[in-house]
Amino acid sequence: MKPINLAVVGASGRMGRQIVAAIEHATDFKLVAALGRANSAAEGVDSGILAGCGENGIKVSADFAVLDNADIVIDFALPETLTERLETYKNYGVAAVICTTGFDDETAANMRAVAAQLPILYAANTSVGINLLAALTENASRVLGSDADIEILEAHHTKKKDAPSGTALLLGESAARGRGKNLDEVAAYDRNGVDQVHKAGSIGFASIRAGDIVGEHTVYLVVAGERIELTHRVANRSTFADGALRAAAWLAKQKNAGFYAMKDMLGLD
Ligand SMILES: NC(=O)C1=CN([C@@H]2O[C@H](COP(=O)(O)OP(=O)(O)OC[C@H]3O[C@@H](n4cnc5c(N)ncnc54)[C@H](OP(=O)(O)O)[C@@H]3O)[C@@H](O)[C@H]2O)C=CC1
Ligand SMILES: O=C(O)C1=N[C@H](C(=O)O)C[C@H](O)C1
């Protein structure tokens, strides 16, 4: 079978390098572009060398014209220029798996607008386990109803910029949906001050940034006399890379434009 021509955006980052390394061993993908920001220290450096898997001849570049050769983009870059990148994917007609987190509501709306013209899969977390946890969270929240106090705790490495994590927000959305609410209506993000009780019906968030923690999330659902703690821990970033490649292979088969999620790929709805 013909391999999928893949472009990795954010190729010099922690996750971009994982994807480049994972493709090295995959027969169903061919790396055709390693993209990043202009004036990056990584510009012109071989992406295989950066990823620690040996020279692959694909240099990190900021010239998105190479997307002409790509079937699918996997984007693990930062949120600042995400709107521009989405516009570029649309112009080149190349479907994209977007894994970036920490973007604002306007960018989220732009992503949905682009998805009206192009297959876009947005995954705040590409691990299979987290997406299963999101489904379990929705179900537990539905069964326990408004009696449960729900709080979400996430822990990540010291270099992570956004908080709460995109995954914590995904889990919060699932918990809110279980109660028939939108997260915006019930989220409690900042617990800092003198009147910080858990308001009935709210969903609280807390973040830890320490050491080299790859990614840990716990949803607490607490009712009188008992509590459920739904926890997921990732030991290695290769878990995210494997999930992103699986998502890319699935997206390559989608003929219609649309805003897809990992749960569509996993058949979790
Ligand atoms: N969906 C998922 O499963 C996961 C998502 N993530 C998310 O992916 C993103 C990247 O994470 P991580 O790899 O750890 O981060 P890094 O900081 O290690 O990498 C970020 C990459 O984006 C590039 N970049 C920096 N600024 C910009 C910009 N303004 N425009 C475009 N590209 C830019 C960097 O280039 P340079 O090297 O030149 O600075 C680098 O290649 C984060 O949003 C993170 O939350 C992370 C892990 C899993
Ligand atoms: O920045 C990270 O590292 C991670 N980011 C994603 C998020 O914000 O949820 C996914 C994962 O937890 C690692």
pLDDT tens string 195-212 = 999 999 999 999 999 999
Chain centre to alpha carbon of residue 21: 19
Residue 269 has pLDDT above 80, yes or no: no
Average model confidence (pLDDT) for the chain? 97
* Distance (Å, whole) CA 83 – CA 37: 14
DSSP, collapsed to helix, strand or coil, labels residue 222 as strand
Name the residue type at position 147: D
Q: How does pLDDT run across 58-79, given as a tens digit for each residue? A: 999 999 999 999 999 999 999 9
Say if residue 146 carries a ligand binding annotation.
no
Tokens at 236, concatenated: 């290695």
> Domains plus CATH for the chain?
4-122+237-266 (3.40.50.720), 128-234 (3.30.360.10)
Provide the ipTM: 0.98
**pLDDT score for 13:** 98
Is residue 215 in contact with ligand 2, taking CB distance under 6 Å? Answer: yes
How many percent of the chain have pLDDT more than 70? 100
Residue 99 has pLDDT above 80, yes or no: yes
Is residue 30 in contact with ligand 1, taking CB distance under 6 Å? Answer: no
Residue 188 has pLDDT above 90, yes or no: yes
Give 25's pLDDT tier (boundaries 50, 70, 90).
confident
Is residue 81 in contact with ligand 1, taking CB distance under 6 Å? Answer: yes
Give 28's pLDDT tier (boundaries 50, 70, 90).
very high
Edge-first strand listing for the sheet containing 4-9: 60-61, 29-35, 4-9, 72-75, 95-98, 119-122, 258-260
**pLDDT score for 20:** 98
**pLDDT score for 1:** 81
Say if residue 125 carries a ligand binding annotation.
yes
Q: How does pLDDT run across 110-133, given as a tens digit for each residue? A: 999 999 999 999 999 999 999 999
Please name the residue whose Cα sits nearest to atom 47 of ligand 1: 15
Give 55's pLDDT tier (boundaries 50, 70, 90).
very high
Say if residue 107 carries a ligand binding annotation.
no
Please name the residue whose Cα sits nearest to atom 16 of ligand 1: 13
Ligand 2 atom showing the smallest separation from residue 102 Cα: 8
Give 246's pLDDT tier (boundaries 50, 70, 90).
very high
DSSP assignment string, 53-93? S---S-BEES-GGGGGG-SEEEE-S-GGGHHHHHHHHHHHT
Edge-first strand listing for the sheet containing 226-234: 187-188, 203-209, 149-156, 215-223, 226-234
Q: How does pLDDT run across 137-151, given as a tens digit for each residue? A: 999 999 999 999 999
